[in-house]
Structure 1
Amino acid sequence: MKLSALRNRTALRTAAVALTAALSAALAVGTGSADQDKAPAVTSVTKDGRTWHLKVYSAAMDKDITVDVQRPVDESQPAPNLYLLNGLDAGEGTASWNAQTNALGFLADKQVNVIQPIGGRGSYYADWQQSDPQLGLNKWQTFFTQELPPLLDTTLGATGVNALAGLSTSGTSVLQLAEAKPGLWKSVAAYSGCAQISDPMGRQFVKLAVETWAGGNTNNMYGPADSPLWAANDPVVNAEKLRGTQLYISSGSGIPLMRDVEYYTKSSPGIQGDVNLALGMIIEGAVNSCTHNLQAKLDSLNIPATYQFDPVGTHYWPYWEAALHNSWPMMAASMGIPA
């Protein structure tokens, strides 16, 4: 074989090896990019009578989220969606609407999809600025305002009309979510939520929930006390964004009745299993102050709302269940369905 031919063959072999390596690298990069760009989707649906258990992939959090749905009384007709958010426990334990109340029974004869996301304990359903060692990656605001609504409308054949209700920590969250995407929810009901979070008292309330009870770190959430993210996510500071949303806002005074004493004596969970009567009184008293401050701000902006300030009541479930019943006519009207 001539030397020139040998050199040509060697060159071709070298070029082929290089091309193969380049193609392999390109394919590897392409695969990685596809994984990173995976879109939000309903990955599975399990039906148990009128209850549907959905698995919804959140691209923002790169994981599947469980979303339980109680379907409307007439499943053959499109229905609106009521997002019923749990408090600090986020539906992961027994401190939930499902375990502590008959909310689902009350809503069973209504023409509405009742949406209960499961997960996000201690997160305030917020978009955290960085992952937390204890609570993980939280991008719940993105999930609720961008990823989940269109998926539910398609999967459930919903009307595209939504309402939102939450208690305790999620009584803050529902106002934040409504301000993050005005118009997404026609009505919002906040029960015993501290609406102001950027002042010292409100910030301490958030720290108590996130750090003391849930074990997270609010520095990973909104940063240190002087971070502008606290004010940027404060429902009172941003109250103008609630204009046009129908609002129901309630709280108790913190003064207990005998049934409150009996409830806490039985060690039933409030926002957390270790909340005793004294703490339940203190929390509701603080929440009552926050809620009156929200009322003052909304009044100053001429933004209407329905308020329920009970002269008694501590921080626990029977009061929130009663508030759900009281706020239902407003929410039903906003969604265009019979109460």
Structure 2
Amino acid sequence: MGGVTGRQATAGRGTTGAVGAVVVLLLAALAATVSPASAQSAATIASERPGVRGTLALTVASPAMRAPMRVDVIPPRDPSVPHPTVYLLNGAQGGLNGSSWLDQTDVVDFFAGKNATVVIPVGGQASYFADWRADDPVLGHQKWATFLTKELPPLMDARFGGDGRNALAGISMAGTSVLQLAIEAPGLYRAVGSYSGCAQTSDLVGQAYVRLTVARGGGNADNMYGPVDDPAWVRNDPYVNAEKLRGTALYISAATGAPGPYDRIDGPGIDGNVAELVSRIGVGAVIESSVRRCTVALQAKLDRLGIPATFSLPPAGTHSWPYWQDSLHRSWPLFARALATG
């Protein structure tokens, strides 16, 4: 049988080495041109149209969410002047069915004289605005944390002339989420407002509350953070990780659930509806008293850590929009100082 001569073997090794060198060079060139940040397409504005009461309704194409996302925007008074951006998150209904900041509060009028862009994402019902580990059969693909902290801010700054100074506020379920997002994206938000949210999510009571909220929306919280003993529950608990809130201006509020000044038959959002009043005084009272427990515990934890925060703990008030509107108004001076704006 004929064998490979020494010369042939040397030639073969040389050819193989040359091919290998070319492959290495190609891979190096590819790595130089495709960084991890650019390997995934950036979010883009797919459409923009006039919204309600002088707002803009945007459709944002989100690679993270794999879906078109609706975002309502209150434009700044003067986009030519550098200005901050305020993100407002809706509660467990995701801003649907008349449950958004635009539907329930005076947010448009309140920000009319302030040079800030106000961004209100729509959707996220029962999601806690988290990056879920698995797609949910009912709630679907959820990568809200990536969308809100990585995709949306640079897109909004580019479109509306933002200067990178951000604040974030949310109600109810989102009152938890805003604290989680501030911990996940350190330095992104100069100020955070948590209105009637529960910071404790990994202890038995806190986790039960989260699971109930998700289940009410048809989802399974195992797809968000895993089974009850999964470390992700502790990792995403703002109470446990409160040290990471240091350096962020914090405004945190919760009432007691006792009927307050807006809980009357002619009150805002009730307008003579007896069933609505009974629901607010009943269900709204139970929920608010529950988040009050979490809020008082967080106050004690921040005090022990020496982390400054402004707490509003009124003696009366239910889990409802008129009180959250008040919380936004009252937290604005703290936000304005943190954002260095008027």
Q: What interval of TM-score do these two structures reach, taking the shorter chain for normalisation?
A: 0.7 to 0.9
- How much has 1:124 moved relative to structure 2? 0.8
Q: After superposition, what is the alpha-carbon deviation per residue over 1:236-270, rounded to whole angstroms, capped at 9, x for unaligned? A: 01111101000000000111136425356726879
Match of 1:144 among 128, 148, 168: 148
Specify the alignment match of 1:312 in structure 2.
Answer: 316
Match of 1:221 among 221, 224, 238: 224
Determine if the alignment matches structure 1 residue 112 to structure 2 residue 116.
Answer: yes
For residues 93 and 114 of structure 1, the distance between their equivalents in structure 2, rounded to whole angstroms, comes to: 21
Match of 1:131 among 92, 116, 135: 135
Match of 2:273 among 248, 266, 273: 266
Specify the alignment match of 1:330 in structure 2.
Answer: 334
Specify the alignment match of 1:234 in structure 2.
Answer: 237
Secondary structure at the residue paired with 1:57? strand
For residues 284 and 323 of structure 1, the distance between their equivalents in structure 2, rounded to whole angstroms, comes to: 14
Match of 1:66 among 62, 66, 70: 70
Determine if the alignment matches structure 1 residue 285 to structure 2 residue 285.
Answer: no
Give the letter aligned to residue 222 of structure 1: Y
Do the aligned residues in 2 keep the contact of 1:94 with 1:269 (CA within 8 Å)? no
Match of 2:201 among 197, 202, 212: 197
Note the residue ranges of structure 2 that are not aligned, 5 or more in a row: 1-38
For residues 329 and 220 of structure 2, the distance between their equivalents in structure 1, rounded to whole angstroms, comes to: 35
- How much has 1:54 moved relative to structure 2? 1.7
Q: After superposition, what is the alpha-carbon deviation per residue over 1:161-220, rounded to whole angstroms, capped at 9, x for unaligned? A: 100111100000000000001110000010000110101111111122110x21111111
Q: After superposition, what is the alpha-carbon deviation per residue over 1:38-79, rounded to whole angstroms, capped at 9, x for unaligned? A: 432222222458522222121112111111110112233232
Residue identity over aligned pairs, in percent, reads: 49
For residues 220 and 206 of structure 1, the distance between their equivalents in structure 2, rounded to whole angstroms, comes to: 13
Note the residue ranges of structure 1 that are not aligned, 5 or more in a row: 1-35
**Which one is further off, 45-54 or 152-161?**
45-54
Determine if the alignment matches structure 1 residue 46 to structure 2 residue 49.
Answer: yes
Determine if the alignment matches structure 1 residue 247 to structure 2 residue 264.
Answer: no
For residues 77 and 258 of structure 1, the distance between their equivalents in structure 2, rounded to whole angstroms, comes to: 39
Do the aligned residues in 1 keep the contact of 2:262 with 2:322 (CA within 8 Å)? no
Secondary structure at the residue paired with 1:160? strand
Determine if the alignment matches structure 1 residue 181 to structure 2 residue 185.
Answer: yes
Normalised by the length of structure 1, the TM-score is 0.84
- How much has 1:119 moved relative to structure 2? 1.2
For residues 148 and 275 of structure 1, the distance between their equivalents in structure 2, rounded to whole angstroms, comes to: 36
- How much has 1:328 moved relative to structure 2? 0.5
For residues 200 and 276 of structure 2, the distance between their equivalents in structure 1, rounded to whole angstroms, comes to: 24
Give the letter aligned to residue 231 of structure 2: P
Give the letter aligned to residue 260 of structure 1: D
- How much has 1:157 moved relative to structure 2? 1.4
Give the letter aligned to residue 326 of structure 1: R
Give the letter aligned to residue 168 of structure 1: S
1:147-166 equivalence runs, <5 A: 147-166=151-170
Secondary structure at the residue paired with 1:39? coil
For residues 276 and 124 of structure 2, the distance between their equivalents in structure 1, rounded to whole angstroms, comes to: 18
Specify the alignment match of 1:257 in structure 2.
Answer: 260
Give the letter aligned to residue 132 of structure 1: D
Secondary structure at the residue paired with 2:149? helix
Q: After superposition, what is the alpha-carbon deviation per residue over 1:282-338, rounded to whole angstroms, capped at 9, x for unaligned? A: 111110000011111111111000010001111111111111110001111111111
For residues 126 and 276 of structure 2, the distance between their equivalents in structure 1, rounded to whole angstroms, comes to: 15
For residues 267 and 111 of structure 1, the distance between their equivalents in structure 2, rounded to whole angstroms, comes to: 40
Secondary structure at the residue paired with 1:202? helix
Give the letter aligned to residue 62 of structure 1: R
Secondary structure at the residue paired with 1:136? coil
Do the aligned residues in 2 keep the contact of 1:95 with 1:269 (CA within 8 Å)? no
Count of aligned pairs: 299
For residues 53 and 103 of structure 1, the distance between their equivalents in structure 2, rounded to whole angstroms, comes to: 15
Secondary structure at the residue paired with 1:98? helix
Q: After superposition, what is the alpha-carbon deviation per residue over 1:13-54, rounded to whole angstroms, capped at 9, x for unaligned? A: xxxxxxxxxxxxxxxxxxxxxxx9443222222245852222
